[in-house]
Amino acid sequence: MSIEVRNLVKRFGQTTVCDHLNLDIPSGELVALLGPSGSGKTSLLRIIAGLEQPDSGTVLFNGEDTTHVAVRERNVGFVFQHYALFGHMTIFENVAFGLRVRPKETRPSEAEIKAKVTELLKLVQLDWIADRYPHQLSGGQRQRIALARALAVEPKVLLLDEPFGALDAKVRKELRRWLRRLHDEMHITSVFVTHDQEEAMEVADRIVVMNQGRIEQEGTPDEVYDHPATPFVLQFLGDVNLFHGRDHAPGSVGSGGDAAVSYVRPHEIQVLAHGEAGSLPVQLVQVLTVGPNTRLEFKRTDGQGEIDVELPRAEYAALRDSGVLAHGAQVHLKPRRVRSFAAGSNPA
């Protein structure tokens, strides 16, 4: 089931949350709507689901206008952040719910419902807890049951609103990998909302980056990360160091001249014991080790601020042990890659 969004506008009072949006989602694709709070991603998802009506514009499923079609007639499955399971029902009955409330003429038999629910519980690897209640499950298990319930009605489109936002980091990472594998098996057109850049990069076929009700960029994870179209995308998808005007980054071309702003990611900077063409003198002021990487904060010796650098722990240890990166050491930095935009081209 393909999804097309055409010139979509949605306002809440004076706030425009969807500003003439256009988007194509091919059948079978897993798409992430990524952006900060208030960017319009959840409003767009709810309009696709039929839970909100746009002020103008259209939504098409497989080329047919569904803008004003009722939710239950769109054949979409919706998974919320906070599960929305029925606490008084067993896990089996939660998953069976969508099948039992169908009109009598399309409602499956009891045997068919049992077979379908059992199949789905096996799919999410939770068939062994069918007789339990939601309060007896972990957060990760409840979210998998919520997904099974959404799939029970055999939706043509699966929509997920911050599906792992309420879970701890370890469970969140496990579930997003599980969701990716599940999608590869089922190939159902899926759209999920997230503000977590790593989650979007790991799970999605394509990422749609949103900001202030507009689409800043869409593309594969590699495309939006390696070739950001705007400063907002560049900064939202990871830490960056900024260099303004003629004070652009060492080694940069500075495509905007005096008005250029150059951006360098912390992991794309070399640490040099001695200066060379295109390098910048700095002093080490702080070292933080985070997992496999070490984050270094340097103070520019010209008094123009700080620069953050990220190195693999082994590389940092070698520089430290050789005496190059002793606390307070004077060294030089040189970027491996610089991206420049005209100042004011896209306020972040």
What does the DSSP 8-state code read for residue 237? T
Mean pLDDT within 123-139: 90
CA 155 – CA 157 distance, rounded (Å)? 5
Separation CA 321–CA 20 (nearest Å): 56
Q: What is the pLDDT of residue 260?
A: 77
**What pLDDT, on the 0 to 100 scale, is given for residue 246?**
52
Whether the predicted pLDDT of 165 surpasses 80: no
Choose among 247, 248, 254, 212: nearest CA to 233. 212
Residue 29 has pLDDT above 90, yes or no: yes
Tell me the backbone φ, ψ of residue 32, rounded to 5 degrees: -105, 130
Q: What is the pLDDT of residues 288-336, one digit of tens each?
A: 998 899 999 999 988 888 999 999 999 999 999 999 998 889 999 999 9
What pLDDT shows up at residue 234?
A: 94
Q: Which two tokens stand for residue 74?
A: 């769109």
pLDDT tens figures, 172-199? 888 888 888 888 888 899 999 999 999 9
d(CA 247, CA 268): 18
Give Rg (Cα) of the chain. 25
Backbone angles phi, psi at 15, to 5 degrees: -95, 125
Structural domains in the chain, CATH included, are 3-236 (3.40.50.300), 241-342 (2.40.50.100)
What are the pLDDT digits (tens) for 210-262?
A: 999 999 999 999 999 999 999 999 999 989 998 875 555 554 433 445 557 88
The amino acid sitting at 173 is K
pLDDT band per the 50, 70, 90 thresholds, residue 139: confident
